Amino acid sequence: RLGGASRLARGGEDPSDADPSEERYDGTLRRWLAPFGMARINTRVVRRSAGELDAYVNVDASRFRYREEQLSPAGGRAAAKMAKNAAIPPEKLRALVEAGRLPKPGGGPSAEKRAASAFTALALARAADGSAAACGLSGGDPGYDETAKMVVEAALCLVAEERAELPAAARGGSGVLTPAAALGGVLERRLGGAGLVWED
């Protein structure tokens, strides 16, 4: 596994770290939310980052909780359908690809469709004292174009930037690290230069 809750100092799994399996209404956002298909990977990477950064920045990994959901574009009924789709097991997805009901590798959306696509990721944080903060990241097509940018810019951090500027190098760290722990603000800066937009 990639890490996740067991990588943190608090020991064991916590119910608040569980992957959502059903739609729900969020009173703060006043929107319906649904499980997000990539959350089973993303959340483990973020939690592992918290564990790796615990000793270096103001992150108390023993109290850190993280989960991901997606906003429903059209209320509770759409959220329920999104939850059902997110629960499809990998083997069934493979069967749908083989049956021609889902795109095969290399058969993704056209350049025109990608150009018309966009995403916004919103992060909401709440501290133990009740204070809260929010930030966002937005860009174009997330499935192909922006993902490619993220991978390329991460690689360029390693070959085009001064090693001493990378957080992991400054700490004397090495090994298998997450992007946040290894590249930190250097990657953030490069992604901004590549067209992604950060908002506080």
Q: In angstroms, rounded to a whole number, what is the distance separating the alpha carbons of residues 95 and 111?
A: 26
Q: What is the dihedral of CA 137, 143, 145, 147, to 10 degrees?
A: 60
Quickly tell me which residue has 């493979």 as its tokens. 94
For residue 106, is it left (φ>0), alpha (ψ between -120 and 50) or beta? left
pLDDT in tens, the chain (200 residues): 344 445 444 445 677 788 889 999 999 889 999 999 889 889 999 988 888 887 667 777 888 889 999 999 999 999 999 999 888 888 998 999 999 888 888 888 889 999 999 999 999 998 888 899 999 999 999 989 999 999 999 999 999 888 888 888 877 767 788 999 899 999 999 999 999 999 98
CA separation for the pair 134, 130 (Å, rounded): 13
Q: Give this prediction's pTM.
A: 0.82
**Rounded to an integer, what distance in angstroms lies between the CA atom of residue 36 and that of residue 85?**
9
Contact 69, 23 (CB under 8 A): no
The tokens for 110 are 């056209």
Residue 126 bridge partners (DSSP)? 132
